[in-house]
Amino acid sequence: MDIDKEIRTEGRPGGGDGETAPAGRTGAGSPVEFRLDAASGVPTYLQLVHQVEHALRLGYLKPGDQLPKVRDVVAALAINPNTVLKAYKELETKGLTAGRPGQGTFIQATLSQVTLPELAGLRRSLLGWLASAEAAGLDEDGMVALFSSALRDFFNRRGGSAGGRGTAGGETEGVA
Amino acid sequence: MSVNVIEAGGLGKRYGGTWALRDCSLAIPAGHVAALVGPNGAGKSTLLNLAAGLAEPSAGGVTVLGGRPAGSRAAADGIAFVAQDTPLYKNLPVADMLHLTRNLNRRFDQAYAQGRLAELGIPLKRKAGKLSGGQQAQLALTLALARRPRLLLLDEPVAMLDPVARHDFMAAVLTAMADDGVSVVLSSHALAELERVADYLVLLSRGRVQVAGEVEDLLASHRMLTGPAADAGRYAERPVVHLQRGEAQAHLLVRATPHDPVPPGWEAHPVGLEELALAYLREPGAGALPGPARGRSTQTSEVTR
């Protein structure tokens, strides 16, 4: 009964890890589309929240951008409208979005203080690190383990919270 | 906003000497997709038929849409019901089905129905019986929605459909909910699918309501505890819904919130709708307690004291 798999054949390229299903045209008028991973065990509304946060971190979404309309998400993913509303409310509570009556939901903050070119540069150096890790004989799980452990150490040494998840640095960057 | 789309008190239906539904009391609030779940013969279709006014109760009563007696004209005007077998006249062309339905109902939005069928690419001249299963289901749904109901009742709406048709059908139902705020009550065996569709759950077992409540509340008030099988018996005092015991390890589905302390040596995990429903379905006796969302006798907070 995995409906996701049935839709995947229409998937857009670069849709990610292959575990999730592209969802058609939720993104009409919005820079992003939502996908659902039925096997992840993560509640549907949280999946939507995470995808917006992820898109914000990677610069796919910027202040002023519109999120897909609730109706479009419902139509594309066949999920309960209340689930989408809950996700959007959560994003609003986090200060990341704001609803505009009659128009929709818009991004008003960013999670990334880094510009797209900077991100591309950082990604390149990370790819370089990955190549050397592979050359040293690490497999994917090994790389993830090493990176996660280094990441934990890095932030632990700095006393924990700083720079961790959800410190939406851009909350003061208003929308034009 | 506290209108109940279905409210039943002591509701029962007997066919011959057999109670298909008995002592059923529940209140399903508006604005939800409520799923009726239970084994075959648990009374799901009976409950839907009683709510739709297609059957007379043998005991108790049922009202819909904020107190309208089921079967009354006021109730019928606000309800659309799509029965299990997608009832269509197979020899009638689609256009004639539209015409017939329009004439049989006080309210029928012809423009909406035609627009929807055009969008779906369902030809008006084709006989209903010649449409694909998915198209027949969509036609039945279109006829139901064109009556502009406030409550949509669906009995096993997607049981016969292939995965794409199921997805499209549910997407259409949920889009109607997003557009018009129609409330939905549907019966289904497809638990995995309900996970993302339903936000209210009614579990029926042997003709009685076993669990009823908002999915979010139900999930927040149940946890799966995993630990040593030898200790499993120690939790007999607690409201254990379901126990799976191996030689060394046991899984207990208990009524407990994420804030309740986890016993030493045990791990607690959140549960999903499917896991929760399966556990209850395997333990028909666990239905003695009311749904935690509307708990009366047992508060979840006292669960793991």
B35-76 residue pLDDT tens: 999 988 889 999 999 999 999 999 999 999 999 999 999 999
Take residue A109 and report the two structure tokens written for it. 């903050």
Let me know whether B178 and B244 are in one domain. Answer: no
Residue B300 has pLDDT above 70, yes or no: no
Residue B299 has pLDDT above 50, yes or no: no
Let me know whether B37 and B103 are in one domain. Answer: yes
Domain A1-176 has CATH 1.10.10.10: yes
Rounded to two decimals, the pTM is 0.77
Of B216, B233, B237, the residue nearest B303 (C-alpha): B237
Are the beta carbons of A2 and A38 closer than 8 angstroms? yes
The residue that leads in pLDDT, B303 or A72, is: A72
Let me know whether B152 and B53 are in one domain. Answer: yes
Q: Which segments within chain B are labelled E, that is strand?
A: 4-15, 18-29, 33-37, 59-64, 68-69, 79-82, 151-155, 183-187, 200-205, 208-214, 222-228, 240-245, 249-255, 267-270
End residue of a domain, out of B197, B214, B231: B214
Indicate the DSSP class of residue B93: B
Measured between CB atoms, does B90 come within 8 Å of chain A? Answer: no
Q: At what angle do helices A70-77 and B163-180 cross, to 10 degrees?
A: 160
What was the pLDDT predicted at A14?
36
Round to whole Å and give the CA distance between B301 and B280: 20
Take residue A152 and report the two structure tokens written for it. 């934990």
CA B268 to centroid of chain Cα atoms: 28
**CATH value at residue B141:** 3.40.50.300
Helix (H) or strand (E) holding A98: strand A97-100
Three-state secondary structure call for residue A16: coil
Please answer yes or no on whether B196 and A77 come within 8 Å at the CB atom.
yes
| pLDDT band at residue B294 under the 50/70/90 scheme | very low
Please answer yes or no on whether A41 and B178 come within 8 Å at the CB atom.
no
Per-residue pLDDT, averaged over B17-35, amounts to 93
Measured between CB atoms, does B193 come within 8 Å of chain A? Answer: yes
Domain spans, chain A:
1-176
Residue A139 has pLDDT above 80, yes or no: yes
Three-state secondary structure call for residue B202: strand
Q: Which residues of B touch A78 (CB under 8 A)?
A: 167-168, 170-171, 174, 196-197
Phi first, then psi, for residue A154 (nearest 5°) are -55, -50
Q: Specify burial of residue A37 (Cβ count, 10 A radius: 0-12, 13-18, 19+).
A: middle
What was the pLDDT predicted at A20?
40
End residue of a domain, out of B181, B214, B247: B214
Which residue is listed with tokens 């720079």? Answer: A163
Interface test with B, best of A3, A70, A73 (most B CBs within 10 A): A3
Take residue B99 and report the two structure tokens written for it. 């015409």
Round to whole Å and give the CA distance between B213 and B220: 11
What was the pLDDT predicted at B235?
66
What was the pLDDT predicted at B168?
93
Please answer yes or no on whether B33 and A80 come within 8 Å at the CB atom.
yes
| pLDDT band at residue A164 under the 50/70/90 scheme | very low
In chain B, % of residues over pLDDT 90:
57
Question: How is the beta sheet containing B68-69 ordered, strand by strand?
Answer: B18-29, B4-15, B59-64, B68-69
Are the beta carbons of B6 and B64 closer than 8 angstroms? yes
Instruction: Please tell me which of the candidates B163, B174, B199 has its beta carbon nearest to residue A6.
Output: B163
Let me know whether B227 and B142 are in one domain. Answer: no
What was the pLDDT predicted at B247?
81
Interface test with A, best of B175, B180, B273 (most A CBs within 10 A): B175
Let me know whether B205 and B246 are in one domain. Answer: no
Round to whole Å and give the CA distance between B277 and B272: 9
Let me know whether B190 and B262 are in one domain. Answer: no
Alpha helices in A33-139 (DSSP H): 44-57, 70-77, 81-93, 116-135
Instruction: Measure A25 CA to nearest chain B CA, in Å.
Output: 13
A117: how many CB neighbours lie within 10 A of its CB? 9
The answer for residues whose C-beta is within 8 angstroms of residue B158's C-beta and 6 or more apart is B137, B165, B166, B169, B170, B188, B190, B193
Residues of A with CB under 8 A from a CB of B: 1-3, 5-7, 36, 38, 41, 44, 70-71, 74-83
B81-84: long-range pairs with CB below 8 Å, 24+: B81/B48, B81/B52, B81/B54, B81/B144, B81/B152, B81/B153, B81/B154, B81/B155, B82/B140, B82/B141, B82/B144, B82/B152, B82/B153, B82/B154, B82/B155, B82/B157, B83/B155, B84/B45, B84/B155, B84/B156, B84/B159
Measured between CB atoms, does B199 come within 8 Å of chain A? Answer: yes
CA-CA-CA-CA torsion sign (B251, B257, B263, B269): positive
Round to whole Å and give the CA distance between B24 and B208: 6
Q: Is B68 left (phi over 0), alpha (psi -120 to 50) or beta?
A: beta
| pLDDT band at residue B287 under the 50/70/90 scheme | low
Counted domains in chain B: 2
Residue B230: which domain range?
Answer: 221-302
Let me know whether B57 and B156 are in one domain. Answer: yes
Instruction: Please tell me which of the candidates A1, A70, A82 has its beta carbon nearest to residue B163.
Output: A1
Residue B142 has pLDDT above 80, yes or no: yes
Please answer yes or no on whether A3 and B164 come within 8 Å at the CB atom.
yes
Of A112, A118, A120, A16, the residue nearest A57 (C-alpha): A112
Let me know whether B72 and B157 are in one domain. Answer: yes
Of B219, B163, B152, B225, the residue nearest A44 (C-alpha): B219
Please answer yes or no on whether B196 and A83 come within 8 Å at the CB atom.
yes
Are the beta carbons of A151 and A129 closer than 8 angstroms? no
Q: What is the ipTM of this complex?
A: 0.82
Of A64, A76, A70, the residue nearest A11 (C-alpha): A76
End residue of a domain, out of B214, B237, B271: B214
The residue that leads in pLDDT, B27 or B238, is: B27
| pLDDT band at residue A160 under the 50/70/90 scheme | low
Let me know whether B183 and B41 are in one domain. Answer: yes
State chain B's mean pLDDT as an integer: 87
Which residue is listed with tokens 């896991």? Answer: B275
What was the pLDDT predicted at B84?
82
Let me know whether B16 and B141 are in one domain. Answer: yes
Let me know whether B200 and B58 are in one domain. Answer: yes
The answer for residues whose C-beta is within 8 angstroms of residue A137's C-beta and 6 or more apart is none
B231: how many CB neighbours lie within 10 A of its CB? 15
Let me know whether B142 and B12 are in one domain. Answer: yes
Angle at A83 between CA A80 and CA A88, to 5 degrees: 135
